[in-house]
Chain A
Amino acid sequence: MDLFITPFSSNSFMLQALVAGALVSVSCAVAGTFIVLRGLAFIGDALAHGVLPGIAVAILVGFPGMIGAAIGAVFMIGGITLITQRSRLSSDTAIGLLFIGMLSLGVAIVSRSSSFSGDLTRILFGEILGISMTAILIQLVATVVIAATATVCSRPFMLLSFDPEQAQVAGFSVRLYHNIMLLMIAATVVVSFQTVGTLLVFGMLIAPAGAGALLARRIQIMMAWAILFGVLSTYIGLLISYHFDLAAGAAITLVTVVIFFVVFIIKNLRTGHAGQLEGVAHG
């Protein structure tokens, strides 16, 4: 028992990390669900890294990193929207290049800072063990807003994932709700990077939701699984990091990915045997 609870009960930084990580897990699960459903993984990745120059500039100028990240995210969304409107065929290439460009720009800017590698590590991997109360509060507000957005927009989001044309004909503007979805993803990235970093936030977005998609027959259930896996990963990751003295953010993300592949393998073993039976039952 001591192994599992004491690290959190006797260290306030561990407890704060757990709370911050759980909040990140919830917002990442909600946003990640729609990233997975709509096949936006690549755009999510681009967003997660594209905010880097914004953060870098903010750090150099002495602004809160979150404001820089928000500006970077708005820039990325603008760029992605422009690219996808202009060309369908090569949008992946263009977005990929935009994201690499932004990443390099971010690193180049950070390299001007006196504490280059420290800052960079902090941006890429977060500092979940040094999270402030203010950051937790902001994260809490953001999580509530993100969950509320997903609840209010659940019908258009579902239609959009099902078939954008169907959404449009049903009276839900594809452009409007697609942009709301991008903003929701961006907001998740912006408020989560302090905790898990821009590099790892992508794992938190995709892995728990991906595992949920394998298990669920309904979107709400998929989201519930994603939240469960995210929070569980935070807890297990923090414990591992505490006992074995490993980087916390990386440990958490590693656990989410391991959970995904465990579910993936179990699911594939099961369907390998049961697939044919299920088919008969449908007939």
Chain B
Amino acid sequence: MDSQREATGPLVSETGAFVPSNDGTPCVLANRLDIGFPNDLVVSGISFELKQGEAVALIGTNGSGKSTLLKTIVGLLPPKGGRVSVFGMPPGHNARRIAYLGQFHASGFVLPLRAVDVVRMGRFPLRGLLGRMSHQDESIVMSAMHTMGIEGLAEYPLRSLSGGQQQRTYLAQVLAHQADLLVMDEPTAGLDAGGRELFLHAMNDELCRGASIIMATHDIQEEAALCQQVMLLARRVVAIGAPQEVLTPASLLETFGIVITGEKRVHVLECKHGHEGSEPFISGGRKM
């Protein structure tokens, strides 16, 4: 059985990169969505819209419902009420267009896999069960590893990599998919300063490419500032809106119970105009 190949799917350009369909359908549309587990309603009444080329950050304490929402969007958990659609369809029907990075990586340690094998998996949703991996696929894989600064680790067994190196590998897998929607659960967990910087550049490039992003994060300063919208969660939606409006001491107090005031540093990354798929490496991106 091939992975879903929907008629409304995006075109694939000559280079094999996705051209996101720009038909005005929101990437993610939630309307009074209730999420949770069979015996546990975690958050109810979530409404938001994620447009193409935009990013939304989920912020909240441990157990506030971030992972639950992301799993619902990728179809791993059924909604408990309300409506949610991804590219105009119920979750779980757009594998080719969605890259997912979970918070935990269960069994990665015992497997005989090299880092490059893990990154190559990012191309599987596009190639399906039996489609050949082309040279183009391989070069996308290598450039994704380069973007995360791990091209030198390609041949290393995954189990011999450090936690942060593994996280970079998983992020490279997400990038290699060249998806229309990136769903990431705490993508920078375990990354060092250099890794975070590479990640922010990569996300900026993904947004400029036309992809959309929804991610859970604990980084209010940099990652949330990259997003057009921020959603504050505390087993309910405390606030949702632009970072400047939402990340106020009052709403942060409501979300976390404590606020550490300090110099608010907003990191702005600009789109590199004229950035085409033909030049996959970030210029000036710091290597490890």
CA distance A75 to B106 in the complex (A): 29
A242 contacts B by Cβ under 8 Å: no
CA distance A212 to B110 in the complex (A): 12
List, in ascending order, chain B residues with CB within 8 A of A221's CB. 112
Closest to B93 in A: A171
Partner of A169 from B98, B105, B127 at Cβ < 8 Å:
B98
Most B CB contacts (10 A, CB to CB) among A155, A168, A171 go to A171
Closest to B4 in A: A171
Check A168 against B76 for contact (C-beta < 8 Å). yes
Partner of A166 from B121, B129, B155, B165 at Cβ < 8 Å:
B121
Of the listed stretches B16-24, B156-164, B201-209, B227-235, name the one at the interface; the rest are far from the partner chain.
B156-164
CA distance A161 to B108 in the complex (A): 8
List, in ascending order, chain B residues with CB within 8 A of A155's CB. 121, 124, 127-129
Closest Cβ of chain A: how far from B69's Cβ, in Å?
15
Check B112 against A163 for contact (C-beta < 8 Å). no
List, in ascending order, chain B residues with CB within 8 A of A172's CB. 3, 124, 129
Among B131-190, those with CB < 8 Å from A are 153, 155-157, 160-162, 165
Check A169 against B76 for contact (C-beta < 8 Å). yes
Q: Label chain A's interface by main secondary structure.
A: helix
Known: A155-B124, A170-B121. A165 touches B160 (CB 8 A): no
B130 contacts A by Cβ under 8 Å: yes
List, in ascending order, chain A residues with CB within 8 A of B225's CB. none
List, in ascending order, chain B residues with CB within 8 A of A282's CB. 153, 156, 160-162, 165
Partner of B105 from A163, A170, A216 at Cβ < 8 Å:
A163
Check A218 against B102 for contact (C-beta < 8 Å). no
Check A213 against B118 for contact (C-beta < 8 Å). no
List, in ascending order, chain B residues with CB within 8 A of A39's CB. 107, 110
Closest to B101 in A: A166
List, in ascending order, chain A residues with CB within 8 A of B110's CB. 37, 39, 213
A219 contacts B by Cβ under 8 Å: yes
B117 contacts A by Cβ under 8 Å: yes
CA distance A162 to B106 in the complex (A): 8
List, in ascending order, chain B residues with CB within 8 A of A168's CB. 75-76, 92
Partner of B111 from A152, A161, A173, A176 at Cβ < 8 Å:
A161
A105 contacts B by Cβ under 8 Å: no
Known: A216-B112, A219-B112. A166 touches B102 (CB 8 A): yes
List, in ascending order, chain A residues with CB within 8 A of B76's CB. 165, 168-169
A191 contacts B by Cβ under 8 Å: no
Known: A155-B129, A158-B121. A213 touches B100 (CB 8 A): no
List, in ascending order, chain A residues with CB within 8 A of B157's CB. 217
CA distance A278 to B127 in the complex (A): 34
Closest to B131 in A: A155
For B54-86 the 0/1 string (1 means CB < 8 A from A) is 000000000000000001001110000000000
CA distance A216 to B158 in the complex (A): 12
For chain A, which range describes its interface: under 10, 10 to 19, 20 to 34, or 35 or more residues?
20 to 34
Closest Cβ of chain B: how far from A166's Cβ, in Å?
7
CA distance A161 to B74 in the complex (A): 19
B125 contacts A by Cβ under 8 Å: yes
Closest Cβ of chain B: how far from A63's Cβ, in Å?
34
Closest to A275 in B: B160
Check A217 against B95 for contact (C-beta < 8 Å). no
Check A163 against B113 for contact (C-beta < 8 Å). no
B1 contacts A by Cβ under 8 Å: yes
B51 contacts A by Cβ under 8 Å: no
Closest Cβ of chain B: how far from A84's Cβ, in Å?
16
A106 contacts B by Cβ under 8 Å: no
Check A176 against B1 for contact (C-beta < 8 Å). yes
CA distance A165 to B98 in the complex (A): 13
Check A170 against B3 for contact (C-beta < 8 Å). yes
Among B207-240, those with CB < 8 Å from A are none
Closest Cβ of chain A: how far from B252's Cβ, in Å?
31
List, in ascending order, chain B residues with CB within 8 A of A156's CB. 129
A109 contacts B by Cβ under 8 Å: no
A18 contacts B by Cβ under 8 Å: no
Closest Cβ of chain B: how far from A151's Cβ, in Å?
9
Check A159 against B102 for contact (C-beta < 8 Å). no
CA distance A55 to B117 in the complex (A): 42
For A170-195 the 0/1 string (1 means CB < 8 A from B) is 11110010000000000000000000
Among A200-224, those with CB < 8 Å from B are 212-213, 216-219, 221-222
Closest Cβ of chain A: how far from B197's Cβ, in Å?
19
**Given A170-B121, A217-B112, list of 7 further CB < 8 A pairs?**
A38-B107, A152-B129, A171-B4, A171-B128, A217-B157, A218-B114, A282-B165
The 8 A-B pairs of least Cβ separation, nearest first, read: A171-B95, A171-B3, A169-B100, A170-B125, A216-B112, A217-B157, A169-B74, A222-B112
Chain A interface (Cβ within 8 Å of chain B)? 37-39, 152-153, 155-156, 158-159, 161-166, 168-173, 176, 212-213, 216-219, 221-222, 278-279, 282
Between A and B, 9 residue pairs with Cβ closer than 8 Å are: A38-B107, A158-B113, A165-B76, A169-B98, A169-B125, A170-B124, A171-B128, A172-B124, A279-B160
